[in-house]
Amino acid sequence: METLGFAFEGELLIWKMAGRRTDVIDERLNDATKIKRKYPDRIPVIVERHPGSQINDLDKHKFLVPNDITVAQFMWIIRKRLQLPAEKALFLFFDDFVPQSRQVHCIANVLNLSIDLLDRRSLWTMGQLYNERKSDDGFLYAHYSGENSFGSL
């Protein structure tokens, strides 16, 4: 049986184990339960590049994130790890949910929805997002993508 190893890097705790995507859901749920028991103030997040994205791949994909940081703070951490230049936009997706405020405003305009409700969602903490969007296996899955913000130079 594989053991979980942990290492701190700044505010984030990164866990090290082989990719678990093909494991049985019960095993992944067991891993998530162990992680939550050992680190109750953190949430397990798996971050992967969107298949169509041309942004570089992260050096690490598994993070233990403090419950109380905002999605914007987590995006900054991912952006920093990617060493993404300022002219590149970063989009973070949690299933079908895009919590960044610009995208939320666009969605609200297209769907003619109340911006107040959507604005509150854009300010969620990672803990709130985890409670709403975690997978059945106990992990929160995120995909990232990007594009040039200022067009071609």
Domain boundaries, given as residue ranges, for the chain: 5-148
Assigned fold of 5-148: Ubiquitin-like (UB roll) (3.10.20)
129's enclosing H/E stretch is helix 126-133
> What percent of the chain lies above the pLDDT cut of 70?
62
* 48-63 pLDDT per residue, tens: 998 888 888 999 999 9
Does the structure show a pLDDT above 50 at 45? yes
DSSP 61: -
100 confidence band (pLDDT: 50, 70, 90): low
Q: Over the range 57-78, which residues count as b (16 or more CB within 10 Å of their CB) and which as e?
A: eeeeebbbbbbebbbeebbebb
